[in-house]
Structure 1
Amino acid sequence: MTFSDSHAHVYSPQLKPDQDEMLQRAYESGVETIFMPNIDHESIEAMLEVEAKYPTQCFAQMGLHPCHVTRNLERELYEVEDWLSRRPFAAVGECGIDLYWDKTLLAEQQEALRVQVALAKKHRLPLVLHTREAFRETADIITAAQDGTLRGVFHCFSGTPAEAEEVIRLGFRLGIGGVATFKNGGLDKVLPGVGLEHLLLETDCPYLAPVPHRGKRNEPAYVPLVARRVAELLGVSVEEVAAATTRNTLALFGAAGDGGEQVMDVRR
């Protein structure tokens, strides 16, 4: 079986000590493609170093994480726009709104998201959306901007059935990670009503490790654990989940291959 990790911060300093071994474990687990969302200007160098070292396995995305939005947006958004104009990336992200830690910068986060939505349209790239405690605020901006060209993923989705339906109506997919394996994660009430064609798998490593590794460091090799839980909830085989979610991820992020199973070019 072949898997794709649609959202992994494998360049994180927490993963640096055994980065090579970690990526080898991922490959041995069937996770052949890994998509890396950016955080801010300080994370770009490390992310691109990983991509250069693992050019057929790890693929960079460019954006500004909402938790790194400040009152002075200009430099960060300039960096995002500049990099998007200089070389190809698989997506714009990770971007969005996060009201879990700080609600005082909502206006700045909204502005940063609108700018990145415009960049996604300009460069014809998908969006990787972060919506922690801010689904409504994020979805409203996407709804207002949706002209039939926007596409992407609501990463680390943990919302309600109604919110899942809204994501799908917007033409976006749901990123499903370790929360699906949590006893009180809530996705057992959501996923049975969602078709496989709308799902991507992710780890969000080094965070949100799935059971039985919950509370420990996460890594891409754990994607099959998420796939098994999704298969249980949907009443299908793990093989079906692996094939469909890998195909969905590669299609969304511009990959092409033999039957959608092997990446040929994620930057068409």
Structure 2
Amino acid sequence: MIDTHAHIYLDDFADDREAMMQRLVAAGVERVYLPNIDGKSIAQIRQLVSTYPDICRPMMGLHPCSVKGDWKAELAVILEELETGQYVAIGETGLDAYWDKTTLPQQEEALRIQIDWAVGFALPLILHTRDTMDRTIEVVREAHRPGLTGIFHCFNGTEEQARQIIDLDFYLGIGGVYTFQNARMEEHLRNIPLEHLVLETDAPYLAPVPHRGKRNEPSYLKPIVSKLAADRQISEEEVIRQTSQNARKLFREMSE
């Protein structure tokens, strides 16, 4: 299994990070992609990649909730990091109307800059869309250029939104929300081929059923796989095979 989105470098894992890493390996997780948040998280990501180079892959971007008064200075730091060539994706970026709507104009400007980077560096773009799915789709469509691809992370939208995202050559990141009964995600994704999905946890957030409410971690990918397999009446092995192939294609690790 491949976890395309996990913040396992955060202090939430400070007390048992080694044990958590052992659990994910035991669960069959072969790769974990680490989305950046802001300038302060860069050193944490670097440290984790240095400690677990065979498992962890770093991304670099500015999270929309970190778009504050100094956001342009933050982007300058992030661009300097990107220019080292050590990162496999731009992200996470996007829009968030849940925590602070007043910064949405600045969030959108920061997003458009990072879309330009994704094109310029030829890297996938990892998108956060909390309470902003339609607008994020619009911005990506407006800014779209050949070669732009990535993931709409933590997808919790409708079938129509899913198809719009696929038309933009992006994947849908499927995580713990898929297992929540009230989300009805199986209905929205029933007609969406597995070729367009990748797995994620968003650890330490959004743990899947039966772990809902606990700290999430990459070893908890299995309940997501199990529900996808049951809903589609296919084997768990097929879900793992196809979603892992999708992730390798996106992050250009097909040779491994």
Give me the TM-score of the superposition, normalised by structure 2.
0.98
Residue 61 of structure 1 corresponds to 59
1:191–1:230: 8 Å Cα contact kept in structure 2?
A: no
* Amino acid of the structure 2 residue aligned with 1:161: E
1:100 to 87, 98, 114: 98
Residue 206 of structure 2 corresponds to 208
Residue 113 of structure 2 corresponds to 115
Residue 247 of structure 2 corresponds to 249
Residue 20 of structure 2 corresponds to 22
Residue 166 of structure 2 corresponds to 168
The separation in 2 between residues aligned to 1:77 and 1:63, in whole angstroms, is: 8
2:85 to 63, 87, 90: 87
5+ residue gaps, structure 1: 258-263
Match status 1:157 vs 2:155: yes
2:139 to 106, 117, 141: 141
1:40–1:76: 8 Å Cα contact kept in structure 2?
A: yes
Residue 196 of structure 1 corresponds to 194
The separation in 2 between residues aligned to 1:233 and 1:147, in whole angstroms, is: 35
2:126–2:150: 8 Å Cα contact kept in structure 1?
A: yes
Deviation at 1:185, TM superposition (A): 1.4
What's the CA shift string for 1:186-244, capped at 9, x where partnerless? 21211211101000000000000001100000000011111111112222110000000
* Amino acid of the structure 1 residue aligned with 2:220: Y
1:71–1:108: 8 Å Cα contact kept in structure 2?
A: no
* Amino acid of the structure 1 residue aligned with 2:146: G
Residue 220 of structure 1 corresponds to 218
Which region of structure 1 is more displaced relative to structure 2, 150-159 or 86-95?
86-95
Residue 47 of structure 2 corresponds to 49
Sequence identity of aligned pairs in percent? 44
The separation in 2 between residues aligned to 1:55 and 1:256, in whole angstroms, is: 17
Deviation at 1:251, TM superposition (A): 1.2
* Amino acid of the structure 1 residue aligned with 2:134: R
Structure 1 segments of 4 or more deviating over 6 A? none
* Amino acid of the structure 2 residue aligned with 1:129: L
* Amino acid of the structure 2 residue aligned with 1:203: T
Deviation at 1:253, TM superposition (A): 1.2
The separation in 2 between residues aligned to 1:242 and 1:203, in whole angstroms, is: 14
The separation in 2 between residues aligned to 1:200 and 1:37, in whole angstroms, is: 15
Which region of structure 1 is more displaced relative to structure 2, 5-14 or 179-188?
179-188
The separation in 2 between residues aligned to 1:26 and 1:72, in whole angstroms, is: 36
2:150–2:170: 8 Å Cα contact kept in structure 1?
A: yes
Which region of structure 1 is more displaced relative to structure 2, 224-233 or 196-205?
224-233
Which region of structure 1 is more displaced relative to structure 2, 126-135 or 230-239?
230-239
Partner secondary structure for residue 190 of structure 1: helix
What's the CA shift string for 1:75-132, capped at 9, x where partnerless? 1110111101013211000000000111000100000000000011110000000000
The separation in 2 between residues aligned to 1:68 and 1:250, in whole angstroms, is: 29
The separation in 1 between residues aligned to 2:85 and 2:153, in whole angstroms, is: 24
Deviation at 1:63, TM superposition (A): 0.3
Deviation at 1:148, TM superposition (A): 2.1
2:119–2:145: 8 Å Cα contact kept in structure 1?
A: no
1:96–1:129: 8 Å Cα contact kept in structure 2?
A: yes
